[in-house]
Amino acid sequence: MRRKRIIMMCCGRRRLRWQLLLLFFIFYSSFFIPSSACAAWRIEAESGAARVLLRGDTLDITTPRGLSLWWEEPLTAPCTIEYRACVVVEGGPCDRLSDLNCFWMATVPVTHGEASSPLRTIGQRSGRFVESYRLQCYYLGFGGNSNTTTRFRRYDGDTLAVTVADRRPPVLVEYTDSAHLLRPNHWYDVRIEMTADGRTRYYIDDELLVDYIDPTPLLHGWFAFRTTWSHIRLTALTITR
């Protein structure tokens, strides 16, 4: 009888050990694996309070000030960038209906040699929007300026534009009507197309907002999602080369 009890106790300890290992695996999967999944993104944030968390297959972005989220892989035209995004307005401290923005084909111009990656110079920029004028890229601000404008520009990397307003690139396409501004808690389907001959198109919910042929096209660079003082959810990023 005593021997049987000892065997049962050993089996109970073994079962407990496996239960503990299973709980550790669940804990590890829930807390460590998502952070490694975010490794494909690089954060450039104006505020230390900005947070980018992975919840399932969705990035949850909250920031009280400017933030750029850079995809680490470079792009070369022709290519297509697609993703889904939602501006969250649920009463949180960062829940403001504004700025579902992005850069694409972004590089940092240099005096001699080829342009460099914006990821290499994240530490040299503060995360403020005006620092973006140092980049050479295409930029679309959907629902910018507190959801009063939707604008498309081509940045030329003029560093003087950071401090001199007259040096800033012109607006090439602009919308101010409510049909082309943000709706709260709506999931938008964004698609950006870039052809090898310098034509770039921006679609949102299958509506073509920008169809621009660049006489001096940007055919190589990086993609970043950009926002400021907002709460954004981002998922289903697909880049087709």
Structure confidence by residue, pLDDT tens digits, 121-153:
888 888 999 999 999 999 999 999 999 999 999
Tell me the mean pLDDT in the region 24-30.
Answer: 36
Q: Are residues 102 and 21 in the same domain?
A: no
Q: What is the pTM of this model?
A: 0.83
Tell me the mean pLDDT in the region 159-178.
Answer: 96
How high does pLDDT run on average in the chain? Answer: 87
Please tell me the predicted confidence (pLDDT) of residue 5. 43
Please tell me the predicted confidence (pLDDT) of residue 29. 34
Q: Are residues 93 and 20 in the same domain?
A: no
Please tell me the predicted confidence (pLDDT) of residue 69. 96
Q: Are residues 96 and 23 in the same domain?
A: no
Q: Are residues 202 and 184 in the same domain?
A: yes
Q: Is the pLDDT of residue 222 over 80?
A: yes
Tell me the mean pLDDT in the region 207-225.
Answer: 97
Q: Are residues 74 and 179 in the same domain?
A: yes
Tell me the mean pLDDT in the region 205-214.
Answer: 98
Structure confidence by residue, pLDDT tens digits, 4-21:
443 333 444 555 555 544
Q: Are residues 77 and 9 in the same domain?
A: no
Cis, peptide link before residue 78, omega less than 30° from 0: yes
Q: Are residues 2 and 75 in the same domain?
A: no
Tell me the mean pLDDT in the region 56-83.
Answer: 96
Structure confidence by residue, pLDDT tens digits, 118-127:
998 888 888 9
Phi and psi dihedrals of 33, rounded to 5? -65, -45
Phi and psi dihedrals of 239, rounded to 5? -120, 120
Percent of the chain topping pLDDT 90:
77
The single-letter code of the amino acid at 215 is P
Q: Are residues 127 and 223 in the same domain?
A: yes
Q: Are residues 131 and 22 in the same domain?
A: no
Where in the sequence is the domain holding 10, given as residue range(s)? Answer: 1-31
Q: Within a 13 Å sphere around the CA of 241, how many CA atoms are in the beta-carbon half?
A: 7
Q: Are residues 3 and 110 in the same domain?
A: no
Per DSSP bridges, beta strands 75-76 and 220-240 are antiparallel
Please tell me the predicted confidence (pLDDT) of residue 115. 79
Q: Is the pLDDT of residue 207 over 90?
A: yes
Quote the number of domains for the chain. Answer: 2
Q: Are residues 5 and 84 in the same domain?
A: no
- C-alpha distances out from residue 222 to 72, 74, 75, 117, 124, Å: 7, 5, 6, 7, 17
In this structure, what CATH number is given to the domain that contains residue 110?
2.60.120.560
Q: Are residues 72 and 20 in the same domain?
A: no
